[in-house]
Amino acid sequence: MTETLKHFIGGRPVAGDSGRFGDVFNPATGEVSAKLPYASTEEIDRAVATAKAASEKWGATAVPKRAAVIFKMRELMVARRDELAEALCKEHGKTKPDALGEIQRGLDVIEFAAGIPHLIKGEFNSNIGGGIDLYSIREPLGVVGGITPFNFPVMIPLWMGAMAIACGNAYLNKPSERCPSAPNMLAEMWLEAGLPEGVWNTIHGDKEAVDALLHHPDVPAISFVGSTHVGEYIYNEGCRHNKRVQAFCGAKNHMVIMPDADMDQAVDALVGAGYGSAGERCMAISVAVPVGEETSKRLVEKLTPKVQGLTLGPWNDESADINPLITRQAKERVESLIQRGVDEGADLKVDGRGATLQGYENGYFVGGTLFDQVKTDMEIYKTEIFGPVLSVMAPSSYDEAVDMINAHEYGNGVAIFTRDGDAARNFTDRVDVGMIGVNVPIPVPMAFHNFGGAKRSKFGDTQMHGPESIRFFTKMKTISSRWPSGIKDGYQLAFPTND
């Protein structure tokens, strides 16, 4: 019998009462693994009310006590990471080593959030004039919403939620309908760690649930990770309802290979960054940019057999390199874009379409795919494919490569492989991209720095985790204070100064 999942609200599992459900699939087999309730607007309203009541007490909790709960959550996650990884893998399809890496990145943010007593300190100036002291403090917002994607169902909720609750807010996570079980586990683990009931909630749903969060007057902030089309809608709609919104969206990440680069190192980096997690990462490298015809020829010669040798498999196959895509629709979309590349004249070196696996014939597999001779006007270059497809461009010069990257609508991540420090420094200065790697293919910053792209890869002014997250999840108050000391100023009508 297929399991029916629940929301997690106010410290307990809650059955959905909207009467609307969606299927959760095993991507390796194509079979339905669970039924998921889709929340109504009324259910979102109740969840927000529960979170708001909990946020008032949690926001007044001493900051060191908040940090103690976060420390305990870290202990629980370390002890139960294999269990969490398995729940993640069964619904996402990614390999267990990949899932464990995701969980570790979530742990990194938890460790950063545990430093909240230091991170949230305000500012103070004594005697700015006339015995007046001036200081600022940061306070929680109340209830904040996180709309999180299928591809990182543990990491992204922690990137948002750990920082949100560290700042004293209650957090309401609306995860992807594709991977709901791991987010539910996170909510249960936070409760076990000592977080008060109602501070961390998970509620499932589709656009109705998203719109209910965007329109709710008691949710002053929304953080989102997902596609650009949806992210732009969330940003505009949230801002229209006077919310602060950060939306981290699509990407088309390039990797420039200079003629002096270590070609073996560059090829290995491309395989890992282009095909890991089946390319379903916003930081995946999807465009290789060897500079010059000779560099391109050497790259493709070394890269082609590596891509041909990649193996498919379900999450529990320790030998698998590429896992299934998340849905049948995703598989069909990726394969149609591969055909589009062929139709537009790109040179298909390795074709991953029609991939089958014995015992998993109905799984959503697409094999590693490699295109050469891709042009900037081709759809496979302009579009974020979100699958195991790598395109090779061949600009004639370094300047042409930089101009091409800057002309693209996305600016999430980029990398350059070179032995030339001057070229690397020039590259980091000139490219209009949020995260840059020098001989590092996936330049995701550590938790104590900020994550975020540029151009249409991000909407909003703030970044994810790092110091920026404190600013996003708090509001500032500035206080001017003077205590009676017998000073008789009399009244003045001019604007006050420190003269």
Let me know if residue 485 belongs to a domain.
no
Q: Mean pLDDT, to the nearest integer, of 455-484? A: 96
Q: What confidence score (pLDDT) does residue 495 get?
A: 73
Whether the predicted pLDDT of 9 surpasses 70? yes
CATH value at residue 109 = 3.40.605.10
* Residues 207 and 290 occupy one common structural domain: no
Distance CA 152, CA 89 (A): 10
Distance CA 355, CA 312 (A): 8
- What lies within 8 Å, CB to CB, of 329 at 6+ separation is none
* Residues 180 and 225 occupy one common structural domain: yes
pLDDT tens-digit readout, 293-343: 999 999 999 999 999 999 999 999 989 999 999 999 999 999 999 999 999
Let me know if residue 133 belongs to a domain.
yes
Q: What confidence score (pLDDT) does residue 487 get?
A: 62
Q: What confidence score (pLDDT) does residue 13 get?
A: 98
Whether the predicted pLDDT of 486 surpasses 80? no
pLDDT tens-digit readout, 156-198: 999 999 999 999 999 999 999 999 999 999 999 999 999 999 9
CATH value at residue 325 = 3.40.309.10
Which domain covers residue 383, as residue numbers?
253-438
Whether the predicted pLDDT of 490 surpasses 90? no
What is the share, in percent, of the chain residues with pLDDT greater than 90?
95
* Residues 314 and 185 occupy one common structural domain: no
Q: What confidence score (pLDDT) does residue 383 get?
A: 97
* Residues 232 and 269 occupy one common structural domain: no
The radius of gyration computed from the CA coordinates of the chain, to the nearest angstrom, equals 25
Find the catalytic residue in 167, 179, 249, 282: 282
Matching residue, tokens 């305990």: 72
pLDDT tens-digit readout, 238-293: 999 999 999 999 999 999 999 999 999 999 999 999 999 999 999 999 999 999 99
* Residues 184 and 311 occupy one common structural domain: no
Whether the predicted pLDDT of 485 surpasses 90? no
User: What are 430's two structure tokens?
Assistant: 């000139």
Q: What confidence score (pLDDT) does residue 484 get?
A: 80
User: What are 240's two structure tokens?
Assistant: 């229209």
Query: For 381-407, b where at least 16 C-beta lie within 10 A, e where not — what string?
Result: beebbbbbbbbbbbbeebeebbebbee
Let me know if residue 443 belongs to a domain.
no
| φ, ψ dihedrals at 179, nearest 5° | -135, 70
Reduce the secondary structure of 127-154 to three states and give it as a string.
EEECCEEEEEEEEECCEEEEECCCCCCC
Indicate yes or no: pTM above 0.85. yes
Distance CA 341, CA 359 (A): 30
Let me know if residue 397 belongs to a domain.
yes
- What lies within 8 Å, CB to CB, of 496 at 6+ separation is none
Whether the predicted pLDDT of 440 surpasses 80? yes
Is 282 catalytic? The answer is: yes
* Residues 244 and 271 occupy one common structural domain: no
* Residues 183 and 300 occupy one common structural domain: no
* Residues 238 and 202 occupy one common structural domain: yes
Contact 36, 20 (CB under 8 A): no
* Residues 372 and 473 occupy one common structural domain: no
Parallel, antiparallel, or unpaired: how do β-strands 31-37 and 21-26 relate?
antiparallel
What is the share, in percent, of the chain residues with pLDDT greater than 70?
98
Whether the predicted pLDDT of 346 surpasses 80? yes
Q: Mean pLDDT, to the nearest integer, of 45-64? A: 98
Parallel, antiparallel, or unpaired: how do β-strands 3-4 and 7-9 relate?
unpaired
* Residues 350 and 216 occupy one common structural domain: no
| φ, ψ dihedrals at 8, nearest 5° | -130, 105
Residue 245 has what DSSP assignment? E
* Residues 104 and 118 occupy one common structural domain: yes
Let me know if residue 448 belongs to a domain.
no
Q: Give the chain's largest Cα–Cα span.
A: 90
Let me know if residue 333 belongs to a domain.
yes
Q: How many domains does the chain have?
A: 2
Let me know if residue 484 belongs to a domain.
no
**Residue-averaged pLDDT of the chain:** 96
* Residues 309 and 370 occupy one common structural domain: yes
pLDDT tens-digit readout, 77-91: 999 999 999 999 999
Half-sphere CA count of 149, side-chain side, radius 13 A: 20
Q: What confidence score (pLDDT) does residue 499 get?
A: 60
